[in-house]
Homo-oligomer: A and B are copies of this chain.
Amino acid sequence: MRDVSIIGTGMMRFGKHLDKGLVELAWPVVKEAIAEAGVEKEDIGIAFCGTVGSAGIMAGQSILKTLGMTGIPIANVEGACSSSGIAVRLAWMAIRAGECDVALAIGADKMNRTGPRHAPDHGEDWDMAYGLAMHGLYAMRARRYMNDYGITEEQLSSVSVKAHKLGAKNEFAHIQKEVTLEEVMTSRMIADPLRLWHCCPVSDGAAAVVLAADDVAKKVCDKPVKIVASVQHSGKYMTGFRDMTMPEVTQRTAKEIYEKAGLGPEDLDLVEFHDAFTINELMYADAIGLSKPGEGVRLLEEGESTVGGRIPINPSGGLLSRGHPIGPTGAAQIVEVTRQLQGRGGARQVEGAKVGLTHVTGGGVSGLDHGACTMHVLAV
């Protein structure tokens, strides 16, 4: 089976883009990724567009038509927050299957105007009806985690301080400002204990990645970033958790990707993971094996999870700061890790990074059923 590398990336500043449609947001990002890849648009053999469909159907076709990229197979892919993580994975799979040498993965969504289609139309969704939207769900997980491991609101709030400190250095972040612990702790309550600054913003945006078979990648790209492994799982439990403090779908996906990549959490130089709420950073650090259960907070307090520390978590600022337009989030993580591994991290560069991991996970409340978790290990 052929190895596959990333050879081009496109990224924009996530934010509230009420003045632009989905196509207007996405096409410049796709153009950037192709230009950076050093290939012609005619070299792209297949395209996948990860979107929750906030802007209607045939999103990928609409975006690519603007660039004159017609004729090729295009599939729109939906897996809640995992959508463009899956799009990258399918692009990787298409190259491995011999369908083409160069493939494109896009993520694109507009949350601020049309909103995500959150509520599936099948049966009664009692959890949602009683308020168990994502905020409520993660608030319950947070309370349980804080209780079980003795985590204080101050500690939880410090996740947000770190995320925004890094995001302030990221020109693509939706929120490019630092926040103080006091600002976080006195911000408006959303779902106790999660306050406003504990939650990711509602963002619009797009991101794109060009992938190539290794033999092509080496010809056109100075520093291709290899996809060492790509794994997707869905949850085995309705909420994605067996107990409320341990996201089993992430834990299981991590286990498989470490096996496939032939490495462990100790070999990673940076990770971009799915911190839609502050509690996520602590829980996912545990689930991905960066810390023992309940000890994710130590990485934070000992400065290990920031740039300059042992294992920087979300140098981009993560979902909390860079933003979370749902569809493009997974692709944006892959753009960030790719550029970091190429030494293009700017003011937030993780020095000497050779191996990075991305993680997106979506769904996992009853209305969105058993979820979708996608992880990639990238390396130079």
Contact = CB atoms under 8 A, between A and B. Distances in A.
Contact of A71 (B110, B114, B123, B233): B233
A338 interface: no
A48 to B, nearest CB: 9
A52 B61 contact: no
A55 B90 contact: no
B117 A56 contact: yes
B98 A62 contact: no
Interface in A207-254: 231-238, 252
Interface string A50-71: 0011111111011011000011
Interface string A97-129: 111000000000010011011111111000000
A287 interface: no
Query: A54, A62, A110, A117: which has the most chain B beta carbons within 10 Å?
Result: A62
Contact of A96 (B56, B61, B78, B97): B97
Contacts of A367: 56
A1 B61 contact: no
B119 A56 contact: yes
A206 to B, nearest CB: 12
Contacts of A363: 57-58, 61
Given A70-B235, A70-B370, A370-B70, A122 B55 contact: yes
Interface stretch (A18-26, A148-156, A169-177, A312-320): A18-26
A54 B235 CA distance: 23
Contact of A61 (B53, B62, B237, B369): B369
Nearest to A237: B70
A76 interface: yes
Contacts of A234: 61, 64, 70-74
A86 B96 contact: no
Interface of A: 1, 21-24, 52-59, 61-62, 64-65, 70-80, 86, 89-90, 93-94, 96-99, 110, 113-114, 116-123, 231-238, 252, 362-363, 367-372
